[in-house]
Structure 1
Amino acid sequence: MTDIKNKHIHLSGICGTAMASLAGLLQQKGYRITGSDAAAYPPMSDQLHAMGIKVAEPYAESNLDSKPDLVVIGNALSRGNPEVERVLDERIPFTSMAAILHEEFLVGRESLVVAGTHGKTTTTSMLAWIYQTASQENPALEPSFLIGGVAENFGISYQLRATRTFLLEGDEYDTAFFDKGPKFLHYFPDGLILTSVEFDHADIYEDLAHVKTAFKRLVNLVPRRGVIVAYDGNANVSECVEHALCRVERYGFSNRADWRIENLRHEGRKSLWQVHLKGELWAEFEMSMAGEHNALNATAAAALAFNHGVPVSAIQAALASFHSVKRRLEVRAVVDNITVIDDFAHHPTAIRETLRALRLAYPNAKLWAVLEPRSNTLRRNVFQQELVDSLSQADAVIMDAVYQQQRIPEGERLHPEQVIAAINAAGTPAELCADVAAIVDSLDRQLKPGDVVAILSNGGFDGIYEKLPMRLSQRAHRQIADEAHG
């Protein structure tokens, strides 16, 4: 792909977070970009609109009538999709997101990858902001990056610069219908963060051993001169890095950690802590994000950045000014002193850590958890008891039906009614609603000023992020009008 001028690349599945980011990178490099998807929703639809890239909806053979020079096929597409079928019938050149990312942007650069079952997006965003902050003193440190979410400090999920460093969120999900290996095996990291390893993506991984094999293969790609910064509080992570041929540095809370977190404390949504490097005080940090998991993510980003020449002063300044990622503990609205939080929930562990963080940030609030079981893991019963335990961290729980449950075999499907019954039995009020309209009605009846609502989904959740604040605003206006009329 050397002749960029007038080259047309079409992205089928463009509204995925990684695909939309890739679209921006390719457009910035000079390609003409079009795209299509089944449905578009924020934040990526907003980002694509801002880039001037129109999204054709839904998938259709006619979306390829413009005869693109290359089609990038997203991993959500499979045989039977009309665009896939036309590509194959007409032998239109095609590739995957991960493959073109490597070919166009990683060759000749230093690739720093953040991988793990949890925390990838936030940690990559932290790492990017650390490098961006450091570039104020050293322009050579300004990074290129691709993140699976919109980093609030940048207002975008990608950046392309002529400098050497490229920061990547390394996704363990499969690459495409024609490449069932994980995306991150295309990224060939020079440096790697490994945050966690758990069973996830039950639609493509058979069991935990299968997941660990993927991460071990990633570890095996790091060259001898590279470095792996790995969490020390997870036995699966330890197993995956056990045979690494490069330097491995551990981070966490234990005495054996090279990068040890001490004196972690929380002041509302702010976290403050110290990091000891090999037993000696290395730095003190503060950050406007609550939660033990976020202090861990920040420490991992700090460790990898420092290993690659970023000064500690820049790391401290970056974390102090870090503003999180859209859909990660994002405050979507505050109406009548009711706070509506959006969090990208895809796994019971992530739900647990989100609710724990919100407990720290809002210690006196009644905490509601509103869940759409939408990810391929949450739609299955593999973690049904773990889901009960995680949701029970809230003061009240509302669940939607399983998203597209007909696509999950009955024997594998999550049974929300059983989850709700178990949560109620444990002493936490919980209810199952048929749809978003019923959820909004229920919350409208029950929410009171001071409450915090955590909306947990990895999708659009039928617009609840807009519908609930609108209903609460209407309620508040009615109350004001009633009071005015005595």
Structure 2
Amino acid sequence: MKRLQLESGSHIHFVGICGTAMGNVAIGLKKRGFTVTGSDKGVYPPMSEVLEGNGIRVLPFGLDNTRDPDFFVIGNAIPRGNVEVEEILNRRKAFCSLPEILRDVFVEGRRLVMITGTHGKTTTTALVYHILKENDLNPAVMMGGVPQGLKSGFEWSTKSELFVMEGDEYDTAFFDKTSKFLKFSPDILVINAIEFDHADIFDSVADIEKAFRFLLRRTPGNAKVLANGDDARALALKSDCYSKFASFGFGEKNPYRIVSVTYGDGRMKVELDMDGEHISLISGMPGKHNAMNIAGACSVCRELGVSATGLEQAIATFPGVRRRFEERAFNEVTGGRVIEDFAHHPTAVSATIRGAREIFPGKRIVAFFEPASNTMRRGELRSELLTALNMADIAFLLPVPQGRRELAQNMPEIPVGSLAERVVGLNKQNEIENVFRQQVCPGDVILILSNGTGQGSLEKAIDFVNGGKHE
């Protein structure tokens, strides 16, 4: 397999730089001494702010962007027909996909810890990185989100051979429709729960399982695979595994087992049995899904030699990840607060709402959901989504956003009006203001659930909670 050969200081241009992974790798290359530029459209926080904070300017797509760079990285959201892509191809300029440059520039020669699965990848990756760093193992990291306290989701390290990475099952690029994670051969592989997602790429959950089976074929025999033992699909992959295999979860057969999850003083307490050793952890992240993320991360770190005390101290100080149950506003007088979460799949939506109920017992939960992912835009899993949103006291389904990314086809609109017992579909963005005037109370816990812009709902929620307005 031919590897990329890039001279230090060369100019690399990212086409579609504002995807979280694209932006984080771009920042990593800049830190390594490369000249980095990027282009995109529909730019929004946090990645727009993260890139700006790291000195990378985001330009609109245009022919001028292709003249000076020595090399191009093309994101998987960018199709044929993009003006820069067509110029790159017509002029026979050198280019590659994101996972290729990540593999060849950063991962090659390192011990790779890769976190995969439909849900929990970013949080688990951030947890592993935090635990290892707090225990002086100092890994490099690449993840699809931005941990609190860091300027990006990429941190380079020359103090360790470890590289912790979020592995994505989504496709690589318009010229390579295989899963991104198939470019890597991990030394430690975590497989979280597997569900149907990415309806624009996969026809069924069986297709997603197939991608994971191919990943296991690339995983060395002397590697370690740690799977969600409570998920039938993840556990079934053991039959295709030639590596050492162990599992984590609530089930009694898991060597890394969650014994109990309780709450007190706004914190979650997780009791673990780590292959016979009892460990008690305190976390600010609520929900059984986060208990699973913690168990998965602790399993990895135990394999790497972190002690029980090291785990306990690190979990207690984990600051969280931006847009993962992130508190954006709190009013001490009314008790109202705003929580932002990246949830864009019915399972993640239900887990986030359930977690809010567990950590804020007795509070009224109001949810705003933006169908921004391709799966949600297509109306896939609609019944499951409405069931999940119906767990809130009242939920509002925002309009399908238009033009967030370049898409090969138009997505159908999700119907508006009363969609379930406690779910209301909104037709226009200005209806969001009416919702805050008429249906949200000062003491509510407001959840903004989106992997897109949120269409102004976050800003309106923060203003509402900070001002305590209610008409």
Equivalent pair of 1:147/1:158 in contact (CA under 8 Å): yes
Q: Deviations over 1:43-88 (max 9, x none)?
A: 111111111111002x1222223x2100000000010001101100
Counterparts of 1:320 and 1:470 in 2: how far apart (Å)? 31
Q: Alpha-carbon deviation of 1:97?
A: 0.6
Which residue identity does 1:469 align to in structure 2? I
Equivalent pair of 1:129/1:153 in contact (CA under 8 Å): no
Give the one of 47, 59, 62 matched to 1:60.
62
Q: Does 1:404 align with 2:397?
A: no
Q: Map 1:463-482 onto structure 2 (within 5 A).
A: 463-471=456-464, 473=466, 476=469
TM-score normalised by the chain length of structure 1: 0.91
Report SS of the residue matched to 1:378: helix
Aligned to 1:460: 453
Q: Deviations over 1:231-252 (max 9, x none)?
A: 1111111222322011111111
Counterparts of 1:41 and 1:358 in 2: how far apart (Å)? 26
Q: Alpha-carbon deviation of 1:263?
A: 2.3
Counterparts of 1:133 and 1:348 in 2: how far apart (Å)? 34
In the superposition, relative to structure 1, how do residues 462 and 422 fare at CA in structure 2: closer, same or farther (>3 Å)?
closer
Q: Does 1:354 align with 2:347?
A: no
Q: Map 1:78-93 onto structure 2 (within 5 A).
A: 78-93=79-94
Counterparts of 1:6 and 1:254 in 2: how far apart (Å)? 51
Q: Map 1:170-189 onto structure 2 (within 5 A).
A: 170-189=167-186
Equivalent pair of 1:402/1:416 in contact (CA under 8 Å): no
Equivalent pair of 2:349/2:388 in contact (CA under 8 Å): yes
Counterparts of 2:430 and 2:465 in 1: how far apart (Å)? 13
Report SS of the residue matched to 1:265: strand
Aligned to 2:215: 218
Aligned to 2:232: 235
Report SS of the residue matched to 1:449: coil
Q: Alpha-carbon deviation of 1:377?
A: 1.2
Q: Deviations over 1:106-140 (max 9, x none)?
A: 110001000000000000000000111011xxxxx
Counterparts of 1:185 and 1:356 in 2: how far apart (Å)? 34
Q: Map 1:254-269 onto structure 2 (within 5 A).
A: 254-267=251-264, 269=266
Counterparts of 2:377 and 2:408 in 1: how far apart (Å)? 7
Counterparts of 2:436 and 2:184 in 1: how far apart (Å)? 44
Q: Does 1:37 align with 2:30?
A: no
Q: Alpha-carbon deviation of 1:3?
A: 5.8
Q: Deviations over 1:394-424 (max 9, x none)?
A: 00011112223996979x846333xx64412
In the superposition, relative to structure 1, how do residues 282 and 219 fare at CA in structure 2: closer, same or farther (>3 Å)?
farther
Equivalent pair of 2:368/2:457 in contact (CA under 8 Å): no
In the superposition, relative to structure 1, how do residues 448 and 471 fare at CA in structure 2: closer, same or farther (>3 Å)?
closer
Aligned to 2:135: 134
Q: Alpha-carbon deviation of 1:34?
A: 0.5
Counterparts of 1:334 and 1:114 in 2: how far apart (Å)? 32
Counterparts of 1:454 and 1:349 in 2: how far apart (Å)? 15
In the superposition, relative to structure 1, how do residues 324 and 165 fare at CA in structure 2: closer, same or farther (>3 Å)?
same
In the superposition, relative to structure 1, how do residues 334 and 416 fare at CA in structure 2: closer, same or farther (>3 Å)?
farther
Q: Alpha-carbon deviation of 1:5?
A: 4.0
Counterparts of 2:324 and 2:255 in 1: how far apart (Å)? 28
Q: Alpha-carbon deviation of 1:171?
A: 0.7
Q: Alpha-carbon deviation of 1:268?
A: 5.0
Q: Map 1:203-352 onto structure 2 (within 5 A).
A: 203-267=200-264, 269-278=266-275, 280-335=276-331, 336-352=334-350
In the superposition, relative to structure 1, how do residues 351 and 268 fare at CA in structure 2: closer, same or farther (>3 Å)?
farther
Report SS of the residue matched to 2:193: coil
Q: Map 1:160-175 onto structure 2 (within 5 A).
A: 160-162=156-158, 163-175=160-172
466-475 or 387-396, larger mean C-alpha shift: 466-475
Counterparts of 1:473 and 1:285 in 2: how far apart (Å)? 32
In the superposition, relative to structure 1, how do residues 95 and 405 fare at CA in structure 2: closer, same or farther (>3 Å)?
closer
Aligned to 2:141: 145
In the superposition, relative to structure 1, how do residues 444 and 334 fare at CA in structure 2: closer, same or farther (>3 Å)?
farther
- Contiguous gaps of at least 5 residues in structure 1: 136-140, 480-486
Aligned to 1:372: 370
Equivalent pair of 2:363/2:444 in contact (CA under 8 Å): yes
Counterparts of 2:467 and 2:281 in 1: how far apart (Å)? 42
Report SS of the residue matched to 2:235: helix
Q: Alpha-carbon deviation of 1:33?
A: 0.4
Equivalent pair of 1:153/1:322 in contact (CA under 8 Å): no
Counterparts of 1:302 and 1:186 in 2: how far apart (Å)? 25
Q: Alpha-carbon deviation of 1:102?
A: 0.3
Q: Alpha-carbon deviation of 1:473?
A: 4.5
Which residue identity does 2:255 align to in structure 1? D
TM-score normalised by the chain length of structure 2: 0.94
In the superposition, relative to structure 1, how do residues 228 and 39 fare at CA in structure 2: closer, same or farther (>3 Å)?
same
Aligned to 1:157: 153
Counterparts of 2:69 and 2:323 in 1: how far apart (Å)? 33
Counterparts of 2:9 and 2:245 in 1: how far apart (Å)? 45
Counterparts of 2:27 and 2:351 in 1: how far apart (Å)? 31
164-173 or 284-293, larger mean C-alpha shift: 284-293
93-102 or 398-407, larger mean C-alpha shift: 398-407
464-473 or 384-393, larger mean C-alpha shift: 464-473
In the superposition, relative to structure 1, how do residues 269 and 92 fare at CA in structure 2: closer, same or farther (>3 Å)?
farther
What percentage of aligned pairs have identical amino acids? 35
Q: Alpha-carbon deviation of 1:277?
A: 3.1
Q: Does 1:47 align with 2:50?
A: yes
In the superposition, relative to structure 1, how do residues 269 and 214 fare at CA in structure 2: closer, same or farther (>3 Å)?
farther
Q: Alpha-carbon deviation of 1:39?
A: 2.3
Equivalent pair of 1:272/1:287 in contact (CA under 8 Å): yes
Counterparts of 2:113 and 2:199 in 1: how far apart (Å)? 27
Which residue identity does 2:395 align to in structure 1? V
Report SS of the residue matched to 1:228: strand
In the superposition, relative to structure 1, how do residues 206 and 14 fare at CA in structure 2: closer, same or farther (>3 Å)?
same
Report SS of the residue matched to 1:328: coil
Q: Alpha-carbon deviation of 1:153?
A: 4.2
In the superposition, relative to structure 1, how do residues 299 and 263 fare at CA in structure 2: closer, same or farther (>3 Å)?
same
Aligned to 2:415: 416
Counterparts of 2:443 and 2:466 in 1: how far apart (Å)? 15
Aligned to 2:444: 451
Counterparts of 1:261 and 1:232 in 2: how far apart (Å)? 11
Q: Alpha-carbon deviation of 1:379?
A: 1.6
Counterparts of 1:432 and 1:316 in 2: how far apart (Å)? 43
